[in-house]
Structure 1
């Protein structure tokens, strides 16, 4: 980027750091704050900039008592600086990357100019500055085989999010995974949005029913806001709903899981427990015995199968027998 443009941006952020008199800020403090925003300049450069800026802006230099400092004039006109700093730009960039699908459409629209301003700000700094390189140093991954997210109709998403935000009913057309044609549902009461991996789910109630159901958002092919009040789900708690295992495909009541892991397969459970009341015991042969009460879900089954022969399930008996049957079938396939 051109030097004069970089200087302008630095001065812009410096003006934002100046307090209104009688408060003041020293040149040394300005230098430290600018350095924290990846603007590495000397005290002399800051002093020169401030003297030049006093010809345009109502700035004051207080040298009556130490520490000497700069400020906006107490009686001068207010001045609004809409620019954003490099740390602010970094934060907005991370919000855009990780939270876009968690925001209602009106909020996303409001934030879009800030996202664009963040991109412009980051483009003004050198590629090796700490704040900019941070974006290449941080990733969020899931402990499973990564999958590409399903194709999502953005207009449907925005309509659903807006209805959820305003507590409005929806009319939707929903195509099940194995269906040829979608089914129309004239009255849907949205309750919550949950993202699991790359899939977004709508928690809702159908018609006059009061039980919460989940719909994969990417299977909604059309959505219309009815602009009629949606009903509340009686006693609904989103955290409790998620903890109950609804998004792991519940197959029964909570299960008391007893399993024995090879040490290498199970030692992570000491640092990342399966549940709060988990019990672990290191056996004489080095294996790890686990006891925990967990939601009985297909996700639990898939998690256990992922350890291969690194785990033996003892209880519940039904789960042990199901895994044994799957192992026998696998042996026939690979035998």
Structure 2
């Protein structure tokens, strides 16, 4: 009886054979199997193909070398129960990183695939290059990480389903001040935006045309209505974000000029602030930055995060804003005892 490794290899081999008139050679299969963590020589692949030819609707073109293999054009569709190691890695990373972006119905449909991916990776050695990748890659936020806001799972499912199906919602919403629940009878969902640990629903209320945002974790009850949601004419989620609703942009573009302490600003030589950025030595210890950037709250917070490691020179209103903030901070830290 073939070993488990041999069976996995042969399953993946069959998955690589395209339906006629497309074809693949044994050498190409050997290379693809090696990429999928099944290193094997071409002679073994050729022997496997000859053995599988008697069991599956495979065709081999022996008119010229290298021989070319195909799945018969009229051959029955054959769905193999296994998945390749690269596919398992991809699905595992999707499960880890896209949980809050995908609609629950899609996640439900993917659960069997997530389980199969876990089983596929569990069946191979931890030292296998593809499996080891999971322990070698991390994505970390540039700002202080926050725990995600706790969202009611059923409310999230209802909101996402309504967005996908373009249906209206009835929402019971808890405002930040903790007052009594506000009931929105007709909510027209437009988009979902995730910023750091918070998920926002972009929507319209009742007959109003302006797009608003509400934090999904403050939705305490959600009901999808059997009424078609209105679509805002010309609505574009990227344009909406660029208008400054999430601190991405709010005051047009500015020509930023600032002097950084060298230790604070050196990273900008490798990760520029803008495509037109100019960065040069002001002195042995300082760098001058000139860049065209959007005027955003995020930009202000970023600059403040350097403390005395940066001095903004232009524009004047941004310089004044940071100056006043620094003065208030200094006053707050004065010892009043």
Q: More displaced, 323-332 or 273-282?
A: 273-282
Partner of 1:299: 298
Report the Cα distance in structure 1 between the residues aligned to 2:331 and 2:248, rounded to whole angstroms.
23
For 1:161, what is the secondary structure of its paired residue?
A: helix
CA separation of 1:163 and 1:323: change in aligned 2, threshold 3 A: same
Report the Cα distance in structure 2 between the residues aligned to 1:68 and 1:174, rounded to whole angstroms.
66
Partner of 1:149: 148
Deviation track 1:272-312 (CA, whole Å, cap 9, x = no partner) reads 33345555453245423334555554433322221111012
Deviation track 1:198-240 (CA, whole Å, cap 9, x = no partner) reads 2111112222322222211111111111232222234432222
Report the Cα distance in structure 1 between the residues aligned to 2:147 and 2:39, rounded to whole angstroms.
41
Is 1:327 aligned to 2:329, yes or no? yes
Q: 1:191–1:204: 8 Å Cα contact kept in structure 2?
A: yes
CA separation of 1:78 and 1:292: change in aligned 2, threshold 3 A: closer
In the TM superposition, residue 179 of structure 1 has moved relative to its aligned partner by 0.8
Partner of 1:240: 239
Give 1:305-316 correspondences, 5 Å limit.
305-314=304-313, 315-316=316-317
For 1:118, what is the secondary structure of its paired residue?
A: helix
Report the Cα distance in structure 1 between the residues aligned to 2:191 and 2:83, rounded to whole angstroms.
33
CA separation of 1:270 and 1:212: change in aligned 2, threshold 3 A: farther
Partner of 2:66: 67
Deviation track 1:163-196 (CA, whole Å, cap 9, x = no partner) reads 1112222111111233153221112221111111
Partner of 1:58: 57
Partner of 1:212: 211
Q: More displaced, 249-258 or 198-207?
A: 249-258
Give 1:55-134 correspondences, 5 Å limit.
55-73=54-72, 76-134=75-133
CA separation of 1:74 and 1:283: change in aligned 2, threshold 3 A: closer
For 2:34, what is the secondary structure of its paired residue?
A: helix
In the TM superposition, residue 262 of structure 1 has moved relative to its aligned partner by 1.0
For 2:308, what is the secondary structure of its paired residue?
A: helix
Report the Cα distance in structure 1 between the residues aligned to 2:179 and 2:82, rounded to whole angstroms.
51
In the TM superposition, residue 137 of structure 1 has moved relative to its aligned partner by 1.4
CA separation of 1:273 and 1:213: change in aligned 2, threshold 3 A: farther
Deviation track 1:87-126 (CA, whole Å, cap 9, x = no partner) reads 1221222222222221222322222222222222222221
Partner of 2:261: 262
Q: 1:174–1:219: 8 Å Cα contact kept in structure 2?
A: yes
Task: Give unmatched runs, 5+ long, in structure 1.
Answer: none
TM-score normalized with structure 2 length: 0.86
Task: Give unmatched runs, 5+ long, in structure 2.
Answer: none
CA separation of 1:309 and 1:68: change in aligned 2, threshold 3 A: same
For 2:3, what is the secondary structure of its paired residue?
A: helix
In the TM superposition, residue 242 of structure 1 has moved relative to its aligned partner by 1.9
For 2:213, what is the secondary structure of its paired residue?
A: strand
Deviation track 1:6-42 (CA, whole Å, cap 9, x = no partner) reads 2211111111222445665433332222111101223
Partner of 1:159: 158
**Matched residue count:** 334
CA separation of 1:263 and 1:24: change in aligned 2, threshold 3 A: same
Q: 2:242–2:250: 8 Å Cα contact kept in structure 1?
A: no
For 2:40, what is the secondary structure of its paired residue?
A: coil
In the TM superposition, residue 51 of structure 1 has moved relative to its aligned partner by 3.9
Report the Cα distance in structure 2 between the residues aligned to 1:140 and 1:235, rounded to whole angstroms.
34
Partner of 1:43: 42
CA separation of 1:91 and 1:251: change in aligned 2, threshold 3 A: closer
